């Protein structure tokens, strides 16, 4: 997944609001989200190549998502799958902070990643790439109430598509008492690419980086494979909706589930 725009504990009615796009090569085998037969409390899509997921939630109120961290350096071939990180949290019972402490102990076994996990006690963020020149990752961070954006750099790095999504979410919360999935989907649906000069200032000048500067990416080989929106209300009820897309950017399926404590 390459773009998440979310609000955490800003609205008393919606403690968590999420709009997210998963961008991937179209040839990579993927199963749309569903409740897993082997883990019936868990809803998530599945990467059928390595078995992990990019985003999921549980009927118990756990949430997790992962994005790759942009790193132009070649990587060893023996790295562990980043998709196991959200999946293991969702299947387990550890609190977010304890789980991230364990992940940080083996962080070097994975290519660069951003991991966002939470439950009713709070939302946490961890990246295995430091913001400084030191290799040592920053410590896991408990997020304060606010609007956040995450793509393939550190949390709230002001990439154009991240800044646009956060601005849209701020406007949505100011204008609306009730939130619909279609409104959340609109936060990550813009197909316009950022100006080349703006991307060059951010050190992003390759054709794939120009393509990926749009919130919603459409091309024959690589693009937005799904948009997932999620909200949690004050009673613990969660509502999940996923739209899947083909290489033309056309909707090929929709999954919607309401679940949780409400």
82-118 tens-digit pLDDT: 999 999 999 999 999 999 999 999 999 999 999 999 9
Tokens of 2: 């390459």
Mean pLDDT in residue range 65-80? 86
Structure tokens at 237: 């009820």
Q: What percent of the chain has pLDDT over 70?
A: 98
Closest by CA to 227, choosing from 204, 249, 259, 199, is 249
Domains recognised in the chain with CATH numbers = 3-260 (3.60.60.10)
Kindly calculate the radius of gyration of the chain based on its CA atoms and give it in whole angstroms: 17
Model confidence at 120: pLDDT above 80: yes
pLDDT mean over 67-72:
88
Question: What is the separation, in whole angstroms, between the first and last Cα of the chain?
Answer: 28
Q: Single out the residue of 217, 204, 192, 128 nearest to residue 159, CA to CA.
A: 204
CB 94 within 8 A of CB 102: yes
Supply the pTM of this predicted model: 0.95
- Residue 211 neighbours by CB distance under 10 Å: 16
- Mean pLDDT value across residues 70-87: 87
Classified as helix, coil or strand, 185 is helix
pLDDT tens for 137-150 read 889 999 999 999 99
User: How does pLDDT run across 199-251, given as a tens digit for each residue?
Assistant: 877 878 788 888 899 999 999 999 999 999 999 999 999 999 999 999 999 99
């Amino acid at each position: 997944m390459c773009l998440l725009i979310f609000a955490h504990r800003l609205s008393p009615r919606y403690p968590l609001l999420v709009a997210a796009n998963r961008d991937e090569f179209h040839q990579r085998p993927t199963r749309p989200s569903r409740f897993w037969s082997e883990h019936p409390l868990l809803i998530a899509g599945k990467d059928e190549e390595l078995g992990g997921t990019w985003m999921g939630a549980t009927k118990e109120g756990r949430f997790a998502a992962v994005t790759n961290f942009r790193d132009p350096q070649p990587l060893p071939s023996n790295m562990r799958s980043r998709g196991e990180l959200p999946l293991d949290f969702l299947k387990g019972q550890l609190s977010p902070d304890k789980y991230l402490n364990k992940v940080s102990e083996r962080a070097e076994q994975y290519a660069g990643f951003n991991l966002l996990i939470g439950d009713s006690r709070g939302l946490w963020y961890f990246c295995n790439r430091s913001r400084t020149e030191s290799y040592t990752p920053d410590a896991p961070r408990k997020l304060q109430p606010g609007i956040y954006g995450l793509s393939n750099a550190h949390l709230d790095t002001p990439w154009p598509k991240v800044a646009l999504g956060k601005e849209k979410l701020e406007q949505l919360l100011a204008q609306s008492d009730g939130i619909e999935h279609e409104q959340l989907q609109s936060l990550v649906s813009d197909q316009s690419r950022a100006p080349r000069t703006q991307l060059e200032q951010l050190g992003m000048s390759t054709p794939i980086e120009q393509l990926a500067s749009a919130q919603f990416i459409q091309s024959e080989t690589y693009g937005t494979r799904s948009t997932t929106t999620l909200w949690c209300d004050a009673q613990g009820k969660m509502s999940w909706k996923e739209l899947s897309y083909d290489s033309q950017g056309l909707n090929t399926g929709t999954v919607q589930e309401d679940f949780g404590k409400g």
